[in-house]
Structure 1
Amino acid sequence: MNQPTLQVTGLQTHFFTGNGAVKSVDGVTFSLLEGETLGIVGESGSGKSVTSLSIIGLIESPGRIVGGEVRFLGRDLLQLKESEMRKIRGKEISMIFQEPLTALNPVFRIGHQIQEVLMNHNQLHKADAERQTLELLKKVKISRPESAYDSYPHELSGGMRQRAMIAMAIACKPKILIADEPTTALDVSIQAQILKIMKEIIRDEGSSILLITHDLGVIAEMADRVAVMYAGQIVEQCDVYTLFKAPKHPYTQGLLKSTPKLHNNEETLDSIEGSVPHPLNMPVGCRFHPRCSYATDKCNQNEPQLRELESGHQVRCLLYENGFQ
């Protein structure tokens, strides 16, 4: 079996506040294979985005990575200096941010920002960088690339800005593309177009994608495997077919039940009672037990470990620790 392009092991990212340490990411482990799309799904506050920012070294004070490894092609990124990370960030590993209007620089034209990536990482001359920039804008299906090239971010629609952000992210043909909620702020028709573009990138470039989302529809459309996060931990991990066909963790089951279905005419949706716990006040034992309909006294005393039930299917739940399925 090929070595993973990315191997995250025991990742811990904490934010140190006056009230104590916030354990936003607490022992996360997963791998990403070449050409694979791994979806990380969960509610807001589950630690998805902090995980992605930890991988590319963009955690700012008072945050700090306090444990674990992030191995990219066997090299631990957490041991690199910032100057070394800058050579990898944007070239080998790129990121599509959730809101391009805040991620793009408002005082530079779109063309200049993409050109800068090409000139810095690929040492291209300005004329070559300009030509490649226009080709990239065409690749992401911008109908008038010359106009977009000369536009400032605020002059483009949300869908066009996201396409420009994707063009910048794929400029250097990265091995890994991290997409953090890439379609959240877009309407349904534009969402479909953006997902189609991302599929074409996988097909044409062979990039691996780490897809961060709360949208199970996007997961079904894009992902090969899925990691479900809750309260800073992965609670279930398996291939996408198994997740939708036979989810094991009560949280995963709740997420699926709360998703609208076209063939279902019911006026109300199921929901998961309560909300994600505050990181400074995590429940003792299983972190999901206050919201879980299967919880027993054992669940509020013992913290479950992530266990492999069958090949490739891992679950963090006491229901399965003694062989119950």
Structure 2
Amino acid sequence: MKYIRKSICSLLLCVSMLAVLLTGCSGGKGTAATGDARILIATCAKGDAFRDMLIAALESACDEQGIGHDTVYAEQSAEQQVAQVKEAKSQGYTAVICRLIDVDTALQVERAADGLPVIFVNNCPDEGYLKADEYIYVASNESVAGSYQAQYVLDKLSGKSEINVMILQGEKTHSATKGRTEAAKRVLNESGKKINYLFQDYADWSPELGQEYFEIFNSTGRTVDCVISNNDSMAVGAIAGMEACGIDPATIVVCGVDATADACRLVKEGKMDFTVCQNAVNQANAAVDVAVLLSSGKSIKDYAGTSDTGYQVWVDFEKVDAANVDKYIK
């Protein structure tokens, strides 16, 4: 009897040791402390202020939750991005968070994911490619940002019956470019004022192009009352162009989006009037939360910010001007 008990105890000890060893072997990179989620973050080249903040925030959100993750950069090659996503499932990832290089490749990315949930951020594909609890877009509603900008201009220039406008647009294929521009123009056009669009062109989020375009426009001898920029970097460039041309930026209403450090500094200095905070940390936290839920087979229908469609999660934009800019200066 003692022999049998001893054998059973030895067997239980071996099983326990084996379980510990197996747990140790599976506890490497990619195993989440909160579950089995492992996330591939697929994005394009570095260099854009907000996009870089968002990727860093996504990585931090994963780290804070103990979730395994890797980030891959496809530079500006949509084909490379599709190829990277295609390897995700075989490499053990449970979800993909993707900043699309080209919104027209959304279907290819989804097919490449081979059944893995895909959470798109910062560049929205056509809604026809989104699907509840499978293909989700997590971001801030771009039309809100454009509306905020236009309303600020109208309030600031309320005494004018005619407004000359310059619009600096982002990348032609980016969803934010269309959403922000169309909303801003709609609000301006519905104001009852005479709106003259004296300059509108794609400056591709670039401060250098923002400055170059303002200097080119100024050389025509015409003047604008406001500059509405799809992001802060182009607005910062436009202000540099004003200063290069000997124009006081305080005489032109300048509006951007993102509440970057440079933009907030210029708002504080009185050289820039308004920006809209696109909260990278909140967007990243939501995207990671959604990825974890979908990785475990759960629905996001009750997750805060989920739209009625079930395939969009909205994170609020925040207005920033001289009255509250100190809150956004780090």
TM-score (norm 1): 0.31
Structure number with greater CO (CA < 8 Å, separation at least 6) is 1
User: Structure 1 or 2: larger helix share?
Assistant: 2
User: Structure 1 or 2: larger strand share?
Assistant: 1
Structure possessing the higher radius of gyration over alpha carbons: 2
